[in-house]
Amino acid sequence: MRKVKSSQKTKTPIIPLVTFGIPAYKNGCLEEVIKSILNQTYANIELIIVNDASPENLRETVSKFHDPRLRYYENKENLGIHGPVKNWNKVLTYAQGEFFILASDDDVYMPTFASDLLTCFYQNPKIDIAHCRLKTINAEGKKEYSPSCPEWESGIDFVWHGFHSNRLLSVSEFLCRTNALRNIGGFIDFPLAWSSDYATWFSLATTGGVGYSGHILLEKRNLGNNMTSNYPLALALQSCFEFKKWFQSFAQQLNCQNELDQLLLGDIFTDAETYYANMHYSAFSTYWMNRLTVFSPMIMFVQWVRLRQQYNISVSTMIRSEVHVCSNLLRSFVAIFKR
């Protein structure tokens, strides 16, 4: 019997381009970060670095790499001084990949980061974002691991966990569809970028849910040297105010797919004021972390009196903040006397 040749041609598998974008300002870990990205096992990547008018010599560090997948740009003026998100979105404008990662200039990626997260998209074709488990390291070398997540969760479930602080999320652990990110206007801009990552991921989660890899694929460095560590308190409270306004509008537009979604969304609305109060407490306590003096409790009370009506800061938030400051002062005094 004569064999009949198939008229169908073998299709070449589509290998999407993945963009890593770094809004760069610090030089300390930049070389290590670049190496971790260029050494990905998934080869079809591009790396975009946008120097945000840094006073450090980033160009010299980047010039050590001769890889055609790397593109380097410099801003004429510092965009981050008006808020980091502006440079995040500047980086996004250069992206040519179907998928996008906003990388930090001090976070290191494991070799299979891109390939493992792309697998999440192959397994769940409707999703627009996927993320991974991560390890964080602070300036003292203390390590912390993010809690595990399901391989897929609905958008409302993802928002519920984020709203109840059941997630340790960062901006640089997510892989997303570039067009989906552009369709929502890029990263959502709040002062100091506070909650900008959460708002952006919440928005991208609503279409098809969120994928997840349980492998630790990112080593995040919390070294305490970011550009917003010495922020004006009023600007931090303004960020809390803008996030609250944004979230109230966002939550009203969420579509529940089942009874569980309805229960979770109702719980989000019930606990919303507690979440906003915790944001205010974080703004006060973080602001005073490196500014402690014997006058701090009094100054903080004056700040609360001056700002409480404008930003709707409760008495309980002020009391929690005062207790936090006083306890830190007490620990400082005890440490001095023990010397």
Q: How far apart are CA 143 and CA 219, in angstroms?
A: 10
In a domain, 332, yes or no: yes
Nearest CA-CA partner of 106 in 229, 230, 225, 231: 225
Band the pLDDT of 4: cuts 50, 70, 90. Answer: very low
Q: How far apart are CA 224 and CA 324, in angstroms?
A: 19
Q: Name the residue with higher pLDDT: 104 or 229.
A: 104
Domain match, 240 and 205 both: no
Q: What is the mean pLDDT of residues 140-163?
A: 91
Domain match, 133 and 56 both: yes
Q: How many domains does the chain have?
A: 2
Phi, psi of 109 (to 5 degrees): -95, 140
Per-residue model confidence (pLDDT) at position 13: 55
In a domain, 178, yes or no: yes
Q: What is the mean pLDDT of residues 71-88?
A: 88
Which range marks the domain in which residue 310 is found? 233-338
Residue 259 CB coordination number (10 Å): 8
Q: What is the mean pLDDT of residues 228-249?
A: 87
In a domain, 13, yes or no: no
Last residue of a domain, one of 202, 222, 242: 222
In a domain, 242, yes or no: yes
Confidence check: pLDDT of 332 > 90: no
Per-residue model confidence (pLDDT) at position 226: 54
Confidence check: pLDDT of 22 > 90: yes
Band the pLDDT of 223: cuts 50, 70, 90. Answer: low
Last residue of a domain, one of 189, 222, 255: 222
